[in-house]
Amino acid sequence: GQQLNQSPQSMFIQEGEDVSMNCTSSSIFNTWLWYKQDPGEGPVLLIALYKAGELTSNGRLTAQFGITRKDSFLNISASIPSDVGIYFCAGLRQNFVFGPGTRLSVLP
Amino acid sequence: DAGVIQSPRHEVTEMGQEVTLRCKPISGHDYLFWYRQTMMRGLELLIYFNNNVPIDDSGMPEDRFSAKMPNASFSTLKIQPSEPRDSAVYFCASSSLAGVITDTQYFGPGTRLTVL
């Protein structure tokens, strides 16, 4: 079946550092989404990507839809403490598939 | 707008009992989604509705699970009988645009279900 892999599973970074995480699959997707989830809350959509090769920014966040349509990455520049949380990628073809998440910790 | 509203926020029940989770989507949204989140399986789409009609229920784990949307402002997810492996956080989300994936898919705060 369709599965998404996210790496790294978790990361600890210093405040101010840039962050890079990615999402890969053996299947092709038509849409890629990136969500952030804070403890005790529902996921919040950060960025949506609809075309292969598309590069989209949302403030300090930048995400790209891979050319092969089998991957996507998310970058966060100049991390701050409130970036802490779990970042999920999701792909859409005929239905939604979510990755297992990348847990980000930011050290002051 | 109050956002997507889910109730209860927490539910603890015993194995074999019926559980009903409730969701009120954002007013005017015509798509409603039910998700389940566990440590082992992550976030899974269970079912989604468009204009109160179930469109894809292929994610519903088994017959013990059922979902209804009697009107545009209310949906339920029912588990009968409940089992310990149903313990998870259940999210409802709603969306307003014509596409299934939109920039406006909003999640509720979730219901944390524990089945003893």
Q: How do residues B38-91 score in pLDDT, each as one tens digit?
A: 988 888 889 999 999 998 898 898 899 999 999 999 999 999 999 999 999 999
Tell me: pLDDT of B16 over 90.
yes
Q: How far apart are alpha carbons B116 and B87 in whole angstroms?
A: 8
- The residue of chain B with its CA nearest to that of A39 is B109
- Burial tier of B84 (Cβ tally within 10 Å: 0-12, 13-18, 19+): exposed
- The residue of chain A with its CA nearest to that of B56 is A95
Q: How far apart are alpha carbons A49 and B54 in whole angstroms?
A: 26
**Total number of residues shown for chain B:** 116
pLDDT attached to residue A93: 75
Q: How far apart are alpha carbons A52 and A78 in whole angstroms?
A: 26
pLDDT attached to residue B106: 83
Q: Rounded to a whole number, what is the distance in Å from the CA of B70 to chain A's nearest CA?
A: 23
Judge whether A51 and A106 are in contact, CB under 8 Å.
no
- List pLDDT tens digits, range A40-71: 889 988 998 999 999 999 999 999 999 999 99
